[in-house]
Amino acid sequence: MKYDKILIVCTGNICRSPTAEYILKQLLPDLFIASAGINATPNRKVEPKAILSAHKNGIDISPHIARQLTPQMCEFSDLILVMEESHIEDIALICPQARSKTMLLGQWTSPLFIQDPYKKSQDTFDQIYRQIENACKTWAEKLK
């Protein structure tokens, strides 16, 4: 199956999923890549520590604003990548038919689950950035 439309999901859409979205957009520029949060505050800006972590690695995620996940987003997407196992369950409740196309961003890497750095130190954000980047590079290779 060809995956042309990828949706990346985390909890608030202000740390992990926008980071992964912007990394994957660089790695796979021909695909449609977006992100959303299961419990997002719409139009909220990205966490400043996430912006700094991405900036240190040459990526500007500051334009991103949070979006709440909807069933329509799930239906539109060919592949949904999530950070934690609980997100798979949440998506199945929001859009049951999307369960079969939902996978972990860390599916092919270690750690399998990418923990939420929200309200943690800059060092934690930097560590999570590296985990997300590693997972995105692995997915990009599989999706090419």
With a cut of 80, say whether residue 1 has pLDDT above it.
no
CA 117 to centroid of chain Cα atoms? 13
- Cα separation, 46 vs 62, in Å, equals 6
Please state, in angstroms and rounded to a whole number, the distance separating the CA atoms of residues 144 and 141: 5
Q: So what's the pLDDT on residue 103?
A: 98
- Please state, for a pLDDT cut of 90, what percent of the chain lies above it: 98
| Distance (Å, whole) CA 123 – CA 49 | 9
Decide if pLDDT at 23 tops 80. Answer: yes
Tell me the three state secondary structure of residue 7.
strand
Among 59, 77, 73, 65, residue whose Cα is nearest residue 19? 59
pTM confidence score? 0.97
Q: Write down the mean pLDDT value for the chain.
A: 98
pLDDT at 116: 98
34-41: average pLDDT: 98
pLDDT, position 2? 87
18 prior amide bond cis, ω within 30: no
Catalytic center residues: 10, 16, 116
Pick the CATH number of 5-143 from 2.40.50.140, 3.40.50.2300, 3.40.1180.10, 3.90.550.10: 3.40.50.2300
